[in-house]
Amino acid sequence: MKNPEERAERLFRFVCLSFSALMLVLGLFWQIRLVRLQEQIDSLESAIRLAQDEGKLLTIRLESSPTLEELEETAVTRFGMQHPTQGQLIEIEYLG
């Protein structure tokens, strides 16, 4: 039978090896988690960039669109439209 010192040393080595293996496995799990989080961050950043680009495009379209006054002038001068007379108006009551 082995003496107590050898048994204690083997037990110590086993505990150290087990602890090292556990730390390695936990490190790998954390690394996988970090990679997944980075992928989510990249995806969200891409979505933000797309939304910002769309916002810029919509702002440009809004700024370049005609005003109500310009639309009214075009309707009157180009298409010969007129404002309705009192007899042409019909009131509708909305009960929403």
Residue 84 lies in a domain: no
What is the per-residue pLDDT for 84? 86
Residue 91 lies in a domain: no
Residue 29 lies in a domain: yes
What is the per-residue pLDDT for 90? 87
Residue 62 lies in a domain: yes
pTM (two decimals): 0.54
65-86 per-position pLDDT tens digit: 999 999 999 999 999 999 888 8
For 48, the domain range is: 4-76
11-68 per-position pLDDT tens digit: 999 999 999 999 999 999 999 999 999 999 999 999 999 999 999 999 999 999 999 9
Question: What is the SS3 string spanning the chain?
Answer: CCCHHHHHHHHHHHHHHHHHHHHHHHHHHHHHHHHHHHHHHHHHHHHHHHHHHHHHHHHHHHHHCCCHHHHHHHHHHCCCCCCCCHHHCCCCCCCC
Residue 95 lies in a domain: no
Angle in degrees, CA 10, 13, 19, rounded to 5: 140
Number of structural domains, the chain?
1
What is the per-residue pLDDT for 19? 96
Residue 52 lies in a domain: yes
Residue 82 lies in a domain: no
Per-residue pLDDT band at 1 (split at 50, 70, 90): low
What is the per-residue pLDDT for 89? 87
Residue 87 lies in a domain: no
